[in-house]
Chains A and B, each alone.
Chain A
Amino acid sequence: MASSAVQPRGLKRTFITPEGVDLRLELGSAGSRAAAFIIDVLMIVAILVAATLALFYVARGTSTGGEQFIAIIWLIGAFVLRNAWFSLFEMGGRGATPGKRMLGLRVVARDGARLTGSAVIARNAMREIEVFLPLSFLADQSVEGLADTFLVVFALLWSGIFLFFPLFNRDHLRVGDLVAGTWVVQSEKSKLSADLVGTSYRARRTFPKAALELYGIYELQTLEDVLRKENPDAIVTVAAMIRGKAGLPDDGDDYGFLYDYYVALCAHLEANMMVGRRRESKFA
């Protein structure tokens, strides 16, 4: 099966299903996870502000008893929003908060087992020291002025260790992920893109064998991206480069040339692969 080992350096991780197939999970990048978190926080703040205003509006006309009831609802609501927003959403079927969902992320157990409630609670309760602790130190400083600046700087550095923890380990684990045994992976929905070659294809150009020996699979798949994206600049550049290397004449139709070259190269590499000569890149 997997003929090329997944490098542990990038964001791809080996993940073998019970059926023995490697799914090659892609971890969420630090940037998209931070973005997801910011979206969630903004949503929480927006809901809190809207609910507070709504409760104020309702409270204006009521008696003291009503006011008390509304104050209780506010206190409990704020507590639940702060502590349960992440946990409740991640316990759901998608395993993701709205922010994560927008960025195509989801939380999964590192061992591939089902994600338990206790794991979700553990990873989110740890946020207290990752985010709220540095924030409360910052708030303290603005309240108490510069009296204990040294202490606050020390506290910020200390709590910063937890905040930036994901940047210092290979799997981008938060402290919470580490303790809960979870990680955040990319889990996007994508449509099957159209077949580039198709059945109605007719070759209009032929290429000498030497021209097809120039490149390997890596270059072929890069060419595939270029063709699918249809960026005019990239097409001109790539076509000129391939013509130059292969010593082929320019016939004025860059896209057609690249398209024919792609099909020919793909067929050539596939034929070689069938007899056991898989060529990963032009350097192989």
Chain B
Amino acid sequence: MNAPLALPSDVPRVNATRFRQAHEEDWEQLDRIVSRMEKRSIRSLSDEDLLALPSLYRTTLSSLSVARDTSLDRALITYLERLCTRAYFQIYGVKTPAWRQLTGFFAHGWPSAVRALWRETLFCVALTFGAALLAYFLIRSDPTWFYSIIPQGLAEGRDPTASAAALRATLYDKEQDWLGVFATFLFTHNSQIAIFAFALGFAFAVPTVLLILYNGLTLGAFFAVFAAKGLAPNVTGWLMIHGTTEIFAICISGAAGIRIGLAIAFPGRASRMDSAVEAGRTAATAMAGAVIMLAVAGLLEGIGRQTITSDGLRMLIGSAVLVAWLSYFYALPLRRANGE
């Protein structure tokens, strides 16, 4: 048995050879087109390539199926698997152009994400003001409480022992020199905290809630120090010009963190995974928006507050900005975006 086969030399012995001969050109062409799309974009393709792409993709995909069932050449199957995977992600994972993503974010994504988080946001706002009130009354009744809430470095002399004149000076003195740098520093620092509040939500929201709580305590403690010296309206103006935006932004990013924590702890009818994913994407959009809000707050604090020293004007600007945010997030009619 098994005598030497009397085949002519150009007849393929195994399926892989036959198969390669029949389709190799298509695969190579798909490889070339996909490489081009990866390097540049779909717009760099010529019209012929663009028209050929879907059918080449399907041909290669069916080559993969056939190869798996008829050929034993592992290198061939691996090659086809990788090529199909790359082609799949170029065809189905097409990116929305950057500017469309950006306009979509401002027109629809951002406000609707914030709107979806309204319960958590309300909770964070209530928590902030609750904690502020608590700190305020504690310190008004016993000023030593101040030192257990605020670390020494942060106070910079603004503690209960400071004189009214010194406190007043901190509210109105201009730091002309490094104004812009100061504003930028505040923006990056606060944004980092906002991102942190978002990420900490994963630990069942507990650290996020603590962060918001502490933020409120700090606010109340400073307010108490100034109010004790009869500077309540002045400090209100000082805080409001940027604080409405800043506190709102911190509350939104806290709300984003809480949403994630709640989705993981209490997924409801959805699976824990699905629930986490849905919450994560909404929350991430809201958090990215909070970073933008903090940039605005940084500008208001670093530049607006340093140049405007009238209490009334400070409060007016702070309220106007708050109204603008509220109407953008909650009152604006949203047009449904076609795809994200």
Contact = CB atoms under 8 A, between A and B. Distances in A.
A28 to B, nearest CB: 13
A71 B184 CA distance: 9
A224 B74 contact: yes
A106 B9 contact: no
For chain B, what secondary structure do more than half of its interface residues adopt (helix, strand, loop), or is it mixed?
Answer: helix
Nearest to A122: B284
Given A3-B68, A19-B58, A209 B285 contact: no
Interface string A144-175: 00000000000000000010000000000001
Contact of A128 (B187, B195, B288): B195
A118 B282 contact: yes
A147 to B, nearest CB: 15
A75 B278 CA distance: 33
B167 to A, nearest CB: 27
Contact of A206 (B4, B14, B28): B4
Given A189-B35, A270-B72, A76 B188 contact: yes
Interface residues of A, number: 85
Nearest to B4: A206
B94 A114 contact: yes
A181 B281 contact: yes
B340 to A, nearest CB: 5
B62 to A, nearest CB: 8
A267 B14 contact: yes
A266 interface: yes
Contacts of A121: 284-285, 287-288
B281 A273 contact: no
Interface in B80-128: 81-82, 84-86, 88-90, 92-96, 98, 101, 105, 109, 113
Contact of B95 (A114, A125, A185): A114
Interface string B1-13: 1111100011111
The 9 A-B pairs at the shortest CB distance, nearest first, are namely: A179-B280, A122-B284, A181-B277, A128-B199, A79-B188, A221-B74, A121-B284, A129-B199, A118-B281
Given A79-B192, A270-B15, 12 more contacts: A3-B68, A21-B61, A76-B188, A93-B90, A94-B38, A118-B282, A125-B199, A126-B202, A187-B89, A195-B73, A198-B17, A273-B70
